[in-house]
Structure 1
Amino acid sequence: MPAEAAERQRHGSPPRQVRRARAAVATVFFLTGTVFATWASRVPAVQERLGMSAGALALALVGLSIGAVSALPVVGGLVARYGSRPVLLVGVVLYAGALPLLAVAPNLPLLALALAAFACGNTAVDVAMNTQGVLVERAYRRPILGSFHAMFSLGGIAGAAAGSVAAGQGVGAGPHFLVTGLVAVAAFAGAMTILVPDPPDAADPGPALALPRGGLWIPGLIAFCALMGEGVLNDWGAVYLHDATGADDGTAAAGFAVFSAGMVAGRLAADRIRARAGTVPFMLACGLVAGLGAAVAVAVAAPVSGLVGYALLGLGLAAVVPVVFSHVAELHPDRPGPSIAAVSAVGYGGFLAGPPIIGAVAEGAGLRVAMLVPVLLMIVMTLLVQRLDSPRSTR
C-alpha cells in the first residue's frame, strides 16, 4: 500500500470542520475567479464608455500589472505578521469593492488607479487563499491544492459566461459590476467564517517584505516559466492561430477555450496523480506534456495541430503553480504565506514579461519563430524541476 494511502487509513476521514473548511476555501477560489472574469468579460464595454483607443487601454492596464506585482512582497509580510484570515478579509473588501469603480471611472488615470486597487486586492486574496489552501491540505494529509485552483478556473468560466449574457441583454457594466461585487462580498463573508485558523505561532515579527531566499529561487523560476507560458498563450494564442495557421476568427477564439479546458482537466486530476507519483516525477511529466503541446502547435502550421497543442499545453501547465505553492509551504511550514508570496513575485514576473517578449521576437523573426519561446521555457522548467530541494534538506 502506498505511504500516503496508508497514512489516510491510519488517520481516517478528515474531521467535519476540516471538510467544511475545504468547501469554504473552494468557494473563495471560485469567487476570486468569477470576480476577475467579470471584469475581463466587460473590458470592451468599459473601453467604449470612455472612448479609449487600444493604446490608451493598454496604458490603463499597466495599473493592473503594477498593482499585482508591487503588492506581492507586502502581502506576504502581512500574512506572516497577522495571519491569512485578516489579510483575506481586507483583500476581499478591496478586491470586490473596487470592481464597481472600474465601471464608473470617468477617465484613464482614475481607471488605472482603480485597476491598481483591484489588483492589490486580488493579490491579497490570492496569497491568503493559497495559504488557507495549504493549511487545509495539511489537515487532509494529502494533496488537494490542485482542486482549489480548478475551482478558480471554473469560477472564471462562470464569470465569463455571466458577462457574456449580461452584455447580450444590454446590461451596463455598472449594474453588472455592482451586483457581482455585492453578491461576492456576501458569499466571501459566509465562507470566511469557517476557514482554518492560522497556527498559534503564525505571527512573525520578521521582514515586512517577503522576498525569495535560499531554496525559494528554484520554485520561483519554475513558476516563472509556467506563468510566462500561460501569459504568452493568453495574449498571443489566438493571434498565432489566425495569422500563422490561417484559422478563421471562430477557430482562433476557440484556442483559448481549448487551453482553458486543458487547465481545468489537469487541475482536477493533479492531486490524485501527484499523491501516487510524488512531486518531482509529477512535475517532470507536466513539463514534458506542456513542452510537447508547445512543440506540436508550431511544428505544423495548421489550425487542428494548434488546437491540439494548446490543449496539451494547458493540461501540462495546469498544476505547476499549485504544486509549486504546496512544495514551498512544505519547505517552510512556519512561513507558508510569505513563501507563496515570494515565489509568486518571481512567477508573475514571467506572466508579465512573456507577451512583450513574444511581440519583440515576432517583430524581428516572425510569429511562428516567436512561438518557439514556450518550447524553450518548458525545457528550462523541466531542468529546474530536477533541482527542487526536498523539505527535509531546507529545515
Structure 2
Amino acid sequence: MAEAPCPGRETAGAATRSGSPRGARAAVGALFFANGAAFSTWAARVPAVTENLGLSAGELAVALIGLSVGALLGLPVAGGLVAQRGSRPVLAGGVAVYLLALPLIGFAPGLIGLTAVLTVFACGNAAVDVAMNAQGVLVERATGRAVLGRLHAMFSLGGIAGALVGGVAAAADIGVRPHFAVAAVALAAVFALAGTRLLPDDPGRERSRLRLALPSAGLWAPGAVVFCALMSEGVMNDWGALYLRDAVGSSAGTAAFGFALFSAGMVVGRLSGDTVHERFGTVRLLQLSGLLGAAGALLTAAAPGPPAALAGFALLGLGLAAVVPAVFRHAAGLDQGRPGPSIAAVSTLGYTGFLAGPPVIGVIAELTGLRAAMLVLLLLLTVLTITAHRLRAPDS
C-alpha cells in the first residue's frame, strides 16, 4: 500500500509554472481559517436562533439532524465531483452554497425551514472541506513539506475567531440576520481572494467517472482510524464539560476551562504534528498520538479531582490533534491523481463516528454512570493505536 509521498514532488513543476507554492500555502490556510470562522459563526448564535424561532431543546435537536444529513450526503458527492472536475470548481460551488445558506439561517420561518437550510449549509461545508483538503495535499506535493496539520490548526483558529465575533455580536444585541449577512460577505471576500492563488489539479489526470466517493477496501483501515479519532472528538465536544461538572465535581467555570484546554491541545498538536510526521512518518505519528490520547483518556476517567482531569483533557487534545491530517495525507496517496475522493470517503467514515459518539456515551452513562462511560475513549484510542499499523508504508 503506497502512501502519499510527503513530500511528493510530482506536481512541483506544474505548480511553479502556475504560481507560487508558498502563496498557495497561504491561500489554502486562509480557506481553512474562513471555513472554521463560517461554521462557528452559526454555532455561536445557536441560542439566538433558537430563541427567535421559539424552539424547544427537542425541536433544536431535530433541526440539527439537518447538519448530519447534509454532511453525510455532501461528502461522498463532493468527492465524486472533485474526481470529475477538480478541486477548484468544487470549492467555488461549495463556497457559494455555504455562504448563501449562512444568512438564510436567520430567515428560516420555523423548524422545517431551519432544518432544510442547515442541510444545505452542511452540504456546502462538505464540498468546501473536501476541496480545500485536496488543495492542501497539492500544496504538500508542490512544496515538499508536510503542512496539513498546520492547515487544520488554521481551521481551529478560525473557529475561535468566529466564536469571539459571535460573542461580541450577542453581547451588543446585534440581530442574527445582520450578523450572518455581514459575516457571509466578509468571508466571501476571503474565499475569493484565496481562490486566485490556488494550485491547478494534476493536468495529466484522466477525467473520472466516479459519482460517489465511497470507501474502498484500501480505505477501511485509515477510515477506522479517523472513525476512532472523530468519535473521540465528538464525545469530548458534547460530554467533556458535563463530565467535569457532574463526575469530577468541577465548578461551571472550571468545566468550561477544561474544554478550552482540550481545544488548546488540539491547536498545539496540529501546529507541531507536521514536524513530527516529517521525522517519524505516518505510522509512528499515529501510534504516538494514540498512546498520548489513551494516557489522557485514562487520566481523565480515573481523575480524583479537577486538576488531574484537566491534565487529561489537555493530553487528549494533543493526542487527537494530528490524527485526521495525517490520515488524510495517507489516504490521498492511495490515488495520486485524485486525492479528493479518498479524503471524502475517509471523512464520511470519520463523520459517522463523530455523530455516533455522543449518543453512545449517553446510553452507557445511563446504564453505568458517566465516569465509566468515558472509558469508551480509552477503548477508541487503543483501537486507533493498533489499527495505525495497518497503514504502514515504505517511508513510514
State the TM bucket, normalised to the shorter chain.
over 0.9
Distance (whole Å) between structure 2 residues aligned to residue 385 and residue 317 of structure 1: 13
> What RMSD over aligned residues (CA atoms) do the two structures have, in Å?
2.0
Identify which of 318, 322, 331 aligns with 2:334. Answer: 331
> Are residues 258 and 217 of structure 1, via their aligned partners in 2, closer, same or farther at CA, if it must alter by over 3 Å?
same
The answer on whether the counterparts of 2:101 and 2:117 sit within 8 Å (CA) in structure 1 is: yes
Distance (whole Å) between structure 1 residues aligned to residue 251 and residue 170 of structure 2: 23
- Alpha-carbon displacement from aligned partner over 1:126-176 (angstroms, at most 9, x marks no partner): 000000000000011121111100000000010011111111111111111
**1:282 Cα deviation (Å)?**
1.1
Identify which of 34, 48, 51 aligns with 2:51. Answer: 48
**1:206 Cα deviation (Å)?**
2.5
* 1:140 and 2:143 are equivalent in the alignment: yes
User: What residue number does 2:348 align with?
Assistant: 345
**TM-score normalised according to structure 2 size:** 0.94
Q: Which amino acid aligns with 2:125?
A: N
The answer on whether the counterparts of 1:331 and 1:391 sit within 8 Å (CA) in structure 2 is: no
**1:77 Cα deviation (Å)?**
0.5
| Structure 1 unpaired stretches of 5+ | none
Q: Which amino acid aligns with 2:82?
A: V
User: What residue number does 2:94 align with?
Assistant: 91
Identify which of 133, 137, 159 aligns with 2:162. Answer: 159
Q: How does 1:126-205 map to 2 (within 5 A)?
A: 126-205=129-208
Q: After superposing the two structures, state which structure 1 stretch, 259-268 or 248-257, moved more.
A: 248-257
User: What residue number does 2:122 align with?
Assistant: 119
**1:207 Cα deviation (Å)?**
2.3
* 1:210 and 2:213 are equivalent in the alignment: yes
**1:203 Cα deviation (Å)?**
4.8
**1:302 Cα deviation (Å)?**
1.5
Distance (whole Å) between structure 2 residues aligned to residue 111 and residue 348 of structure 1: 21
Distance (whole Å) between structure 2 residues aligned to residue 249 and residue 65 of structure 1: 29
- Alpha-carbon displacement from aligned partner over 1:206-253 (angstroms, at most 9, x marks no partner): 220111112111000000000000000000001100100111111111
- Alpha-carbon displacement from aligned partner over 1:301-352 (angstroms, at most 9, x marks no partner): 4111121111110101001001000011112212200000011111110000
The answer on whether the counterparts of 2:130 and 2:340 sit within 8 Å (CA) in structure 1 is: yes
**1:189 Cα deviation (Å)?**
0.7
Identify which of 101, 104, 122 aligns with 2:104. Answer: 101
- Alpha-carbon displacement from aligned partner over 1:343-392 (angstroms, at most 9, x marks no partner): 11111100000000000000111111110001100000000001114279
User: What residue number does 2:307 align with?
Assistant: 304
Identify which of 251, 265, 268 aligns with 2:268. Answer: 265
Distance (whole Å) between structure 1 residues aligned to residue 217 and residue 395 of structure 2: 14
Paired-residue identity, %: 58
Q: Which amino acid aligns with 1:88?
A: L
Distance (whole Å) between structure 1 residues aligned to residue 357 and residue 366 of structure 2: 14
Distance (whole Å) between structure 1 residues aligned to residue 50 and residue 389 of structure 2: 45
Number of residue pairs matched? 387
Give structure 1 regions of 4+ aligned residues with deviation exceeding 4 angstroms: 4-8
| Structure 2 unpaired stretches of 5+ | none
User: What residue number does 2:367 align with?
Assistant: 364
Q: Which amino acid aligns with 1:297?
A: T
Distance (whole Å) between structure 2 residues aligned to residue 17 and residue 383 of structure 1: 39
**TM-score normalised according to structure 1 size:** 0.95
* 1:219 and 2:222 are equivalent in the alignment: yes
**1:93 Cα deviation (Å)?**
0.6
Distance (whole Å) between structure 1 residues aligned to residue 128 and residue 283 of structure 2: 28
Distance (whole Å) between structure 2 residues aligned to residue 201 and residue 56 of structure 1: 50
Q: Which amino acid aligns with 2:217?
A: G
Q: Which amino acid aligns with 1:369?
A: A
Identify which of 72, 77, 81 aligns with 1:78. Answer: 81
Q: Which amino acid aligns with 2:265?
A: G
Distance (whole Å) between structure 1 residues aligned to residue 88 and residue 254 of structure 2: 43
Say which SS state the counterpart of residue 20 (structure 2) adopts.
helix
Q: Which amino acid aligns with 1:194?
A: R
